[in-house]
Structure 1
Amino acid sequence: GLDYHPFPGMGYADKETQKTSFLLQIELAKKLQKPIVLHTREADEDTQKTMTENIPFDFPMDIHCYTASLDFAKWVLEKYPNAYFGFAGVVTFKNAKNVLDVVKVVPLDKILLETDAPFMAPIPFRGKPSHSGMIPWIAETIAKTKGVSLEEVLRQTTINAKKLFKI
């Protein structure tokens, strides 16, 4: 995918290198008939353009560690019926209103739970390495945001992962 967020002292890979790598990964996923695990950060416009030009609308994908805009999420929901949205510990952060707004509009049958390990540990573990044992905190926040039970979130997201990854 594309990540245009600069990291202090490190910068980021230049945009053309990222775009080239993204295209190669898309082609590999299509060739192997495997779902695309797509990352986008501060790159909605370029990601949307690349997707439109290179990913069939029915192709399965996980937009991993979702932090993109609500508009981008709505566009994906409209155009890509086999897309899922992976949410990590960021949903528990106090400044994550934009991500929670996305959680509200994404149907539960299109949500995946993830850690983005070792990054983005949920509250109350922020600052520690993230791991799969922290998934319940992410699921609980999603359940509260959507007004459903924790059990329903865990059940449906398990179904979603099995469907997407054919396991």
Structure 2
Amino acid sequence: MADIHGVVDLHFGEGFEGCITQGCDAESLPLAKQLALSHPLVFVSFGCHPKSAWFYNDEFEATLMSYIKSCGNKVVGFGEFGLDFSHPYYGPDEQNRQTQREVFARQLQLAVKLSMPLVIHSRDADQDTLELMRARVPNTHKVHIHSHRGTLSFMKQMLEEWSHAYIGMPGILTMDEDEHAQELVRQCPLERMLVETDAPYLPIKGHWLSHPGLIPEVVAKVAELKGLDLRKVATALRENAHALYGI
């Protein structure tokens, strides 16, 4: 693993106030813990990604809880976790879907009990996500719909039904050919929006490698798409992140 202080110095500007990494499978859990404990401005969330749902059992949950406890106040959320029916292997099979539903429900109950913000992954699973959350998540609970690239109707339902839900807009919205991502930005109220890079998985225009230090470019694109002053947009998005995660 690269030296985290060197990475921060290289990729983050003077105004850097923090970033959140995730541990959501057996491989990334220890790495995320190490990152969070190695730098004062790196925070973390832990959970079980839907593509690892088959490994979730009592032992995995106990391990998850041990990571949450060992990182103390560096843990600011639970996830990412949720449902992913989009994958050509994981998605079509009903048995796989049911496993995901059961693991999602179990983690929802745990995260709500812990009073932790939820970092929700939902791909091609709008109705299932909504139904499972309606049954288990109070409508005042803090929710982050992570890297949303789904439907407009799902976004609107989330915002309507959960008063402290925020929609995470990924850096791919900077790509001019992604008209859907840009329309989601136009339709989402600024006061209910977050921006994220989902690094290193989603591209940002003009860069071969995505990293959280590119967030200012995502913010600038949001301001352009909404026709608002850049400083106003940056301030609002920073306040949203603080309201959700407390950092």
| Residue type at the aligned position of 1:75 | Q
Pairs aligned (count): 162
Q: Which has the larger radius of gyration?
A: 2
Unaligned runs of 5+ in 2: 1-81
Unaligned runs of 5+ in 1: none
Instruction: Give the whole-Å Cα distance in 1 for the aligned partners of 2:114 and 2:209.
Output: 32
Tell me the residue number matched to 1:107.
189
Report the CA distance between 1:12 and its aligned residue: 2.1
Report the CA distance between 1:122 and its aligned residue: 0.9
Tell me the residue number matched to 1:87.
169
Tell me the residue number matched to 1:52.
134
Pairing partner for 1:130 from 204, 210, 215: 210
Identity across matched positions, percent: 35
Instruction: Give the whole-Å Cα distance in 2 for the aligned partners of 1:105 and 1:45.
Output: 20
Report the CA distance between 1:22 and its aligned residue: 1.2
Instruction: Give the whole-Å Cα distance in 2 for the aligned partners of 1:106 and 1:138.
Output: 15
Which of 86-95 and 32-41 deviates more?
86-95
Report the CA distance between 1:17 and its aligned residue: 1.9
Tell me the residue number matched to 2:178.
96
Q: TM-score by structure 1 length?
A: 0.89
Tell me the residue number matched to 1:6.
87
Residues 7-22 of structure 1 correspond to what in structure 2 (within 5 A)?
Answer: 11-12=89-90, 14-22=96-104
Report the CA distance between 1:96 and its aligned residue: 2.4
Which of 63-72 and 18-27 deviates more?
18-27
Tell me if the contact between 1:121 and 1:134 (Cα under 8 Å) persists in the aligned partners: no
Instruction: Give the whole-Å Cα distance in 2 for the aligned partners of 1:132 and 1:36.
Output: 20
By relative contact order (CA 8 Å, sep 6+), the higher-ranking structure is 1
Tell me if the contact between 1:70 and 1:98 (Cα under 8 Å) persists in the aligned partners: no
Instruction: Give the whole-Å Cα distance in 1 for the aligned partners of 2:225 and 2:244.
Output: 23
Q: Deviations over 1:19-61 (max 9, x none)?
A: 1221122112111111101111111121121122221111111
| Residue type at the aligned position of 1:32 | L
Instruction: Give the whole-Å Cα distance in 1 for the aligned partners of 2:146 and 2:220.
Output: 19
Aligned CA distance change for structure 1 residues 138 and 16 (closer, same or farther; 3 Å) = same
Cα RMSD, aligned residues only: 1.5
Q: TM-score by structure 2 length?
A: 0.62
Report the CA distance between 1:149 and its aligned residue: 2.1
Instruction: Give the whole-Å Cα distance in 2 for the aligned partners of 1:148 and 1:94.
Output: 18
Q: Report the 3-state secondary structure (helix = DSSP H, G, I; strand = E; otherwise coil) of the residue aligned with 1:39.
A: strand
Tell me the residue number matched to 2:154.
72
